[in-house]
Amino acid sequence: MNKSSIILILMVILVVGVGCAKPDWIQQTLVTVDVTGTWQGSTTDGWFEFVLQQQGAKVTGSVLVRGLRGSGNNISGPIDGAMAGDVFSFRQTNGNLTGETTVTGDEMSGQVRVLSRNQILLRRVDSSAPPRSQ
């Protein structure tokens, strides 16, 4: 095997290796959006308000749901969530509410699931952080 054949084989291996490479782990955990504040919106089944506080990728807060058909009353409680890039995933810690939204500026759109899966659009109505308890 001559030198040019070896170089050609190495170039092919390099091209194939780059094409098969997975995205960097940092790209998957990069937090590019801050969802701190109050968000309000609705689905066909109810009205939602989230009050969120974000530190790094971790998001905590509360949710209030009104007028949810089939629930018999308002649903509210604490939520835990996480940001990955511009995707906010969350779950209610004392109930069945879960969801995943994509955040673009002061809007969030995606899906929530309580009794059924629903499309949701939320808008940030206040970007200030909730007061911290002393």
Residue 20 lies in a domain: no
Residue 121 lies in a domain: yes
Please give, one letter per residue, the 3-state secondary structure of 20-73: HCCCCHHHHHCECCCCCEEEEEECCCCEEEEEEEEECCEEEEEEEEECCCCCCC
CA 63/CA 21 separation, integer angstroms:
40
Residue 85 lies in a domain: yes
Average confidence score pLDDT of the chain: 82
pLDDT reading at 132 higher than 60? no
Residue 11 lies in a domain: no
Residue 42 lies in a domain: yes
Total domains in the chain come to: 1
Q: How do residues 32-61 score in pLDDT, each as one tens digit?
A: 789 999 999 988 878 999 999 999 999 999
Q: What value does the mean pLDDT take over residues 123-132?
A: 74
Q: Identify the pLDDT of residue 50.
A: 96
**Residue ranges making up the domain that contains 103:** 28-126
Q: How do residues 1-19 score in pLDDT, each as one tens digit?
A: 677 777 777 777 766 665 5
CATH of the domain at 56: 2.40.128.120
Residue 36 lies in a domain: yes
pLDDT reading at 88 higher than 60? yes
